[in-house]
């Protein structure tokens, strides 16, 4: 993502620009927008002025009268954002020039040509006397496109270009401070206006590169003990405009209607101020003297220039973060994200990621609102989102793999039905287990120890694998659970279905099926002149603790209780081929099987004699 954004800067540019605008809106709502300087005033030729004057298009004499009236108020500079071109009506030119001479501080606008091929030579504005610039340190112009008429050029206190270029979405967020034309420094309209107001020499302007400009010995800072003012740029030679707010009197209190000034008997006091004069009427808006900005969809361009001038006087800049900072932030946050992915569960990892994204977004908005720092949002968030998605997918794949391994292992012990229950309700496997009434089965091969001593190891392994495979199939087909293999023995148990006691009958069915398989296996081995095969099975029904039991280092899904020992002892007293059951099991199977009472038996580990029975064949239940 970082590489894509570096190689293709326009990637997601519109969305990032909208996020910049949302920061302006948030700051405005919080009341943290910069205060507009009281050293700047506006005189606006608005709809009211046009209506009251009766002139939809003002004559140059009227403009001259207005400039004269403003000059009487003794401003430090008048930034006239009206282009009096030489091809327009000539009448009134002399009067306009005379009032410019009388004012002595009028700054006039002109347009530079930024396309290849110059239309007018730099000498037309006397730019050959301007400070020199190294190529590439500022945006370059190819020539001069439009200028005021010559008399006004000669008598203006300064000239500044009014070129401004919208971003890709058509919104004005930045303006150039200076441009380079044939190696000469050309000041923008707002810079020339402030320089005229403060009697500042443009020779003191040091253009370091397209990210920084320093105004050496800047007058506005002398009272603070330093004369240097660093202007942060966007890396393309543009100043990000720190808008004070929408076009409201509360934001720009020193905004005056031009007609009120013309009609007033006394002049307004503009002492020490920089006055911006412009046409902001609907007619001017139609001709392109207004543009969309982050603070308003229609915003007079003269207020864009005055907001830029306000930044120089108040030192309230927007400082864009360099790309390197975004890279550092991504690396640091990405490392934290990777660490959390490694150390935390998926839920906590997701919450941490969302918290990290929200925290950085809040930091970006807060830094802008409080300090004017423009931190990148999407260039930071998108790599983190991609990293989160990659980590999530990776963890999901790994989880699927581990679940597959775990499920494969469990399927060797658990019945398919229990596996389905675990998938639906994993709490079945919670640590500690639960007390349940179950039937335990213990099976053992007769004289297997002696057989192992005399037989080849491969034959022993073959017998065990055949026996275990048949037994597991029988146990699982009867919804039993294999607890463990114990040498040549199998410990398994059967749970009940809800409130119905079915474990005993299913265990008996399974035991008889295993004995039937054992008889077939014995016939096969005898036909092959191999050792005979026989097994004993014990069944006991009672209460036991069932579930994940054991220390953290070794947990087993197992059963604990005396009923387990009883099943083992019952198996031990049987004859080859027998299925021996206890009294509780007998109670549940007596109506379904042919059962032989073997009487009470003294079993090791039990203080009282145990009534035992043998299940030798199954019978169909007879009605009545």
Question: Can you give the pLDDT at residue 624?
Answer: 31
DSSP 8-state secondary structure symbol assigned to residue 415: -
Question: Can you give the pLDDT at residue 397?
Answer: 83
Is the per-residue pLDDT at 622 higher than 50?
A: no
CA 306 to chain centre: 37
| Residue keyed to tokens 């030489």 | 86
In this structure, of 361-365, 408-412, 607-611, the range with the lowest mean pLDDT score is: 408-412
Question: Can you give the pLDDT at residue 229?
Answer: 94
Task: Kindly state the average pLDDT of the residues 354-365.
Answer: 93
pLDDT, tens digit, 9 for 90 and up, residues 37-48: 999 999 999 999
In this structure, the strands spanning 174-176 and 158-161 are unpaired
CB proximity list for 96: less than 8 A, separation 6 or greater: 60, 61, 63, 64, 67, 84, 152
Angstrom distance (rounded) from CA 177 to CA 158? 15
58 backbone dihedrals φ, ψ, rounded to 5°: -70, 145
Vertex 18, ends 16 and 24: CA angle to 5°?
115
pLDDT, tens digit, 9 for 90 and up, residues 575-606: 999 999 999 999 999 988 899 999 999 999 89
Average pLDDT for the chain: 88
Do residues 300 and 290 make contact, with C-beta atoms less than 8 angstroms apart?
Answer: yes
Angstrom distance (rounded) from CA 330 to CA 351? 18
Task: Kindly state the average pLDDT of the residues 448-466.
Answer: 90
Is the per-residue pLDDT at 410 higher than 70?
A: no
| Residue from 536, 559, 544 nearest 413 by CA | 559
Question: Can you give the pLDDT at residue 109?
Answer: 97
Domains and CATH numbers, the chain: 1-30+321-411 (no CATH), 35-315 (no CATH), 426-618 (3.30.70.1230)
Greatest Cα pair distance, the chain, in angstroms, is 137
pLDDT, tens digit, 9 for 90 and up, residues 255-289: 999 999 999 887 789 999 999 999 999 998 888 89
Label each residue of 272-306 as H, E or C: CCEEEEEECCHHHHHCCCEEEECCEEEEEHHHHHH
Question: Can you give the pLDDT at residue 394?
Answer: 82
List C-alpha distances in Å: 179 to 107, 112, 119, 140, 339: 17, 9, 17, 6, 48
pLDDT, tens digit, 9 for 90 and up, residues 117-131: 655 555 567 777 889
Do residues 44 and 258 make contact, with C-beta atoms less than 8 angstroms apart?
Answer: yes
Do residues 234 and 240 make contact, with C-beta atoms less than 8 angstroms apart?
Answer: yes
Question: Can you give the pLDDT at residue 52?
Answer: 94
Question: Can you give the pLDDT at residue 139?
Answer: 94
pLDDT band at 623 (very low <50, low <70, confident <90, very high): very low
| Residue from 472, 444, 441 nearest 589 by CA | 441
Is the per-residue pLDDT at 322 higher than 80?
A: yes
pLDDT band at 621 (very low <50, low <70, confident <90, very high): very low
| Residue keyed to tokens 């203080």 | 607
Vertex 368, ends 329 and 42: CA angle to 5°?
150
pLDDT, tens digit, 9 for 90 and up, residues 189-218: 999 999 999 999 999 999 999 999 999 999
More confident residue, 289 or 403: 289
Angstrom distance (rounded) from CA 199 to CA 212? 22
Rg of the Cα trace of the chain? Answer: 46
In this structure, the strands spanning 535-549 and 556-560 are antiparallel
In this structure, the strands spanning 556-560 and 593-601 are unpaired
Angstrom distance (rounded) from CA 456 to CA 232? 87
Task: Kindly state the average pLDDT of the residues 390-415.
Answer: 72
DSSP 8-state secondary structure symbol assigned to residue 174: E
Angstrom distance (rounded) from CA 576 to CA 578? 6
Angstrom distance (rounded) from CA 142 to CA 424? 74
Is the per-residue pLDDT at 617 higher than 70?
A: no
More confident residue, 222 or 364: 364
pLDDT band at 226 (very low <50, low <70, confident <90, very high): low
């Amino acid at each position: 993502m970082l590489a894509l954004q570096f190689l293709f800067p326009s990637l997601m540019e519109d969305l990032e620009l909208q996020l910049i605008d949302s920061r302006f809106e948030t700051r405005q709502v919080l009341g943290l927008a910069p205060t507009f300087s009281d050293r700047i005033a506006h005189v606006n030729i608005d709809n009211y002025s046009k209506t009251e004057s009766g002139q939809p298009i003002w004559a140059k004499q009227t403009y001259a009268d207005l400039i004269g009236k403003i000059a009487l108020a003794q401003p430090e500079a008048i930034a006239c954002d009206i282009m009096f071109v030489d091809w327009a009506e000539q009448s009134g030119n002399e009067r306009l020039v005379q009032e410019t001479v009388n004012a002595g501080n009028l700054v006039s606008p002109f347009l530079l040509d930024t396309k290849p091929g110059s239309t007018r030579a730099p000498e037309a504005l006397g730019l050959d006397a301007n400070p020199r610039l190294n190529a590439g340190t500022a945006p370059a112009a190819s020539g001069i496109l439009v200028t005021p008429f010559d008399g006004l050029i000669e008598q203006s206190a300064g000239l500044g270009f009014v070129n401004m270029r919208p971003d890709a979405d058509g919104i004005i967020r930045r303006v150039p401070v200076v441009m380079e034309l044939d190696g000469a420094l050309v000041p923008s309209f707002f810079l020339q206006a402030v320089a005229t107001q403060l009697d500042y020499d443009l020779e003191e302007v040091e253009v370091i590169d397209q990210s920084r400009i320093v105004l050496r010995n800047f007058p506005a800072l002398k009272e603070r003990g330093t004369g240097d003012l660093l202007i942060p740029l966007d890396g393309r030679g543009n100043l990000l405009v720190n808008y004070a707010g929408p076009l409201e009197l509360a934001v720009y209190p020193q905004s005056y209607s031009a007609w009120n000034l013309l009609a007033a008997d006394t002049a307004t006091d503009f002492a020490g101020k920089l006055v911006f004069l412009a046409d902001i009427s609907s007619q001017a808006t139609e001709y392109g003297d207004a543009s969309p900005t982050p603070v308003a969809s229609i915003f007079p361009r003269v207020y864009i220039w005055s907001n830029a001038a306000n930044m120089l006087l108040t030192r309230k800049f927007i400082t864009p973060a360099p790309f390197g900072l975004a890279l550092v932030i991504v690396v640091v946050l990405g490392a934290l994200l990777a660490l959390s992915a490694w150390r935390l569960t998926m839920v906590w990892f997701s919450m941490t990621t969302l918290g990290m994204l929200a925290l950085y977004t809040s930091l970006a908005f807060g830094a802008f609102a409080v300090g004017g720092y423009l931190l990148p949002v999407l260039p930071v968030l998108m790599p983190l989102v991609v990293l989160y998605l990659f980590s999530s997918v990776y963890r999901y794949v790994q989880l699927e793999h581990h679940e597959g391994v775990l499920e494969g292992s469990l399927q060797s012990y658990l019945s398919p039905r229990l596996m389905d229950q675990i998938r639906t309700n994993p709490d079945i496997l919670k640590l500690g287990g639960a007390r349940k009434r179950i039937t335990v089965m213990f099976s053992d091969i007769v004289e297997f120890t002696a057989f192992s001593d005399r037989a080849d190891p491969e034959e022993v392994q073959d017998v065990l694998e055949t026996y275990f495979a048949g037994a597991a199939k029988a146990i699982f087909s009867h919804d039993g659970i294999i607890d463990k293999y114990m040498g040549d023995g199998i410990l398994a148990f059967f749970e009940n279905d809800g409130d119905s006691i079915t474990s005993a009958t299913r265990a008996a069915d399974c035991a008889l099926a295993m004995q039937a398989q054992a008889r077939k296996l014995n016939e096969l081995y005898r036909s092959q002149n191999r050792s005979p095969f026989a097994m004993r099975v014990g069944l006991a029904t009672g209460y036991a603790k069932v579930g994940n039991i054991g220390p953290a280092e070794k947990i087993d899904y197992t059963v604990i209780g005396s009923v387990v020992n009883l099943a083992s002892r019952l198996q031990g007293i049987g004859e080859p081929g027998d299925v021996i059951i206890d009294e509780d099991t007998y109670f549940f199977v007596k109506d379904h099987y042919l059962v032989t009472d073997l009487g009470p038996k003294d079993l090791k580990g039990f203080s009282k004699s145990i009534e035992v029975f043998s299940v030798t064949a199954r019978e169909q239940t007879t009605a009545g």
